[in-house]
Amino acid sequence: MSLKILVTAKRVEDPESKIKVKPDGSGIVTDGVNYKMNPFDEIAVEEALRLKEKHGGEVIVASIGGDKSATEIRAALAMGADRGILVRHDGPLDPVGVSAVLAKVFEQEKPDLVILGKQSIDDDQNQAGQYLAARLRLPQATFASKTESLESEAEQKKEPGLRLAADGKSLAVVREVDGGVETLEVSLPAVVTTDLRLNKPRFASLPGIMKAKKKELKELQASALGVELAPKVVVKKLSAPPSRKGGVKVADVEELFSKLHGEAKVV
Partner 1 sequence: MANVLIVAEQFGGAVRKATLHALSAGREVARRTGGTLHVAVLGSGIGPVAEELAGYGAEVHAADAAVLEHPLAEAHAPVVAELARAVEATHVGAAATAFGKDLLPRVAGLLEAAMATEVLGFGGEGAEVTFRRPMWAGNVLAEVALATPVKVFTVRATEFPAAAKEGKGAVTTAQVSVDAGALRTRYAGFTEVKSARPELTEARIVVAGGRGTKGDFKPIEALADELNAAVGASRAAVDAGWVPNDWQVGQTGKVVAPELYVAAGISGAIQHLAGMKGSKVIVAVNKDPDAPIFQLADYGLVADLFKALPELAEKLKKSR
Q: Show contacts with partner 1 in window 59-88 (CB under 8 A).
A: none
151 lies in the site for partner 1, by CB under 8 A: yes
Cα separation of 175 and 145, whole Å?
5
Residue from 44, 133, 212, 222 binding partner 1 (CB under 8 A): 133
Cα separation of 76 and 209, whole Å?
9
Residue 263: how many other CB atoms lie within 10 Å: 9
Residue from 54, 55, 92, 130 binding partner 1 (CB under 8 A): 130
131 lies in the site for partner 1, by CB under 8 A: yes
Residue from 23, 207, 226, 247 binding partner 1 (CB under 8 A): 247
Burial of 156 (C-beta count, 10 Å sphere; 0-12/13-18/19+): exposed
Q: How far is CA 267 from the centre of its chain?
A: 41
Cis peptide before 23 (omega within 30 of 0): no
132 lies in the site for partner 1, by CB under 8 A: yes
Q: How far is CA 52 from the centre of its chain?
A: 18
Residue from 135, 158, 202, 211 binding partner 1 (CB under 8 A): 135
Q: Which of residues 83 and 126 has its CB atom nearest to partner 1 in the complex?
A: 126
Cα separation of 188 and 118, whole Å?
19
Query: How near is the Cβ of 42 to partner 1 at its closest, in Å?
Result: 14
H or E stretch including 47?
A: helix 39-55
Query: How near is the Cβ of 251 to partner 1 at its closest, in Å?
Result: 8
Residues 6 or more apart in contact with residue 45 via CB below 8 angstroms: 7, 9, 37, 59, 61, 76, 79, 81, 115, 201
106 lies in the site for partner 1, by CB under 8 A: no
29 lies in the site for partner 1, by CB under 8 A: no
248 lies in the site for partner 1, by CB under 8 A: yes
Q: Which of residues 9 and 133 has its CB atom nearest to partner 1 in the complex?
A: 133
Q: Which of residues 48 and 171 has its CB atom nearest to partner 1 in the complex?
A: 171
Q: Which of residues 8 and 142 has its CB atom nearest to partner 1 in the complex?
A: 142
Q: Which of residues 67 and 263 has its CB atom nearest to partner 1 in the complex?
A: 263
